[in-house]
Structure 1
Amino acid sequence: MKKWISILGTIGLTATSTTTLISCNKENNNENEASNKPKPSPKPSPKPSYNTQQPPENSNWKLANDFIDEKNNDNKNYIGIIKIENDFKIIKWIGKYIDWKYQYINIYRWDGVGEPEIPTINENTGEITDWKEQKGTK
């Protein structure tokens, strides 16, 4: 008798849970009969992409965006164009030291003799407007 009660109880519980599961079907109460799926959120705007500006042909300035992989760069002069808030700035350093607290837009290496003059940039766009090519020191 206990087995029969146990079997009937199991069947009753199974039937009840199945009925409850079927009755959980959510009604579509939208006026335009659209689905109840949430609308996808707009994609975040992509980071601005900056054009890599090549130095003039036969220039002593060379694009060095692969700065980390450069060999024998202990005594070379570098400049990096960075963006701080809404302005672009140029940072200058010598050798392997690079200040990693900035995100560099472009890095350039001076292959000329002596210390270079820092090029002039448009602070609104970061574009180099005057490369200040010189053949020696300041």
Structure 2
Amino acid sequence: MKTGGNGNKPEPPYNPQQPPENSSWKLIDTNTSNWISNNEFPSNKNKWYIMFAILENESLLDLRLIKFKNDDINKPQSLDDKSNFIFLNNKKYWFSWLYRWDGTNEPETPTVDKDTSKITNWKE
């Protein structure tokens, strides 16, 4: 993850990357709490997801891309339009961007540049 001006504060990615055109990866709009009430996970059974997330009580420097299947989710929650978290395998993850795989079979995990936190290869 890129650091801020003084070299020790992380600079989080503020704008989600759009997947390539005609990609099987779909960006889920989590900027409103509607994504939960719209039943994103229950209505998309057996789907794979990736998210930029950190475990509860970790620093932004520990931000990582995590791939999971919606069956692994204990409970998604949103405190407000900008504070989303998921209990995944009984661990609480705060996340910023969420993508759903609409392709067939398990996808490869995209490649992320560790310095910029940008996806460099979506691995379609």
Structure 1 position 49, deviation (Å):
5.8
Higher gyration radius (CA): 1
Q: Does the 8 A contact of 1:81 with 1:88 survive in 2?
A: yes
Q: Does the 8 A contact of 1:78 with 1:94 survive in 2?
A: yes
How many pairs are equivalent?
87
More strand by share: 2
Among 103, 108, 113, which residue is 1:117 paired with? 108
Structure 1 position 65, deviation (Å):
3.5
Among 26, 47, 50, which residue is 1:62 paired with? 26
Structure 1 position 126, deviation (Å):
1.7
More helix by share: 1
- Give the 3 Å change call, closer, same or farther, for CA 124–95 of structure 1 in structure 2: same
User: Which amino acid counterpart does residue 70 of structure 2 have in structure 1?
Assistant: G
- Give the 3 Å change call, closer, same or farther, for CA 89–78 of structure 1 in structure 2: same
Among 86, 98, 117, which residue is 1:107 paired with? 98
User: Which amino acid counterpart does residue 64 of structure 1 have in structure 2?
Assistant: I
Supply the RMSD in Å over aligned alpha carbons: 2.3
Among 16, 20, 26, which residue is 1:52 paired with? 16
Find runs of 4+ consecutive structure 1 residues off by over 3 angstroms: none
Percent of aligned pairs with the same amino acid: 48
C-alpha separation in 2, matches of 1:124 and 1:87: 12
1:92 maps to 67
* CA deviation vs aligned residue, 1:11-52 (integer Å, no higher than 9, x gap): xxxxxxxxxxxxxxxxxxxxxxxxxxxxxxxxxxxx956111
User: Which amino acid counterpart does residue 127 of structure 1 have in structure 2?
Assistant: K
